[in-house]
Amino acid sequence: MLLLGIFGLFIVNSSWWSWPLAVIACLFVYFLETLWDNASARVKWQNLLWSCWIVTLLAGGLNLLILMLVK
């Protein structure tokens, strides 16, 4: 729940509609977290760790690409 609150802080701003948007985004992330947890229930921990590293590297690469394009 703490991480969902921190995730919500990235969306909330001074607009009134940012609070409902943050709640919807947090519910969506919670749904994805539950889906991932149920989908990987019977996976060996080595395969899960490997897939988490792949997702982390892809997200980091995409983040660097976006930062290079914005600059």
Mean pLDDT of 11-31: 90
pLDDT of residue 65 exceeding 90:
yes
CA angle 25/10/13 to nearest 5° reads: 95
Q: For a pLDDT cut of 90, what percent of the chain falls above it? A: 46
Kindly report the pTM of this predicted structure.
Answer: 0.61
d(C-alpha 64, C-alpha 20), whole Å: 29
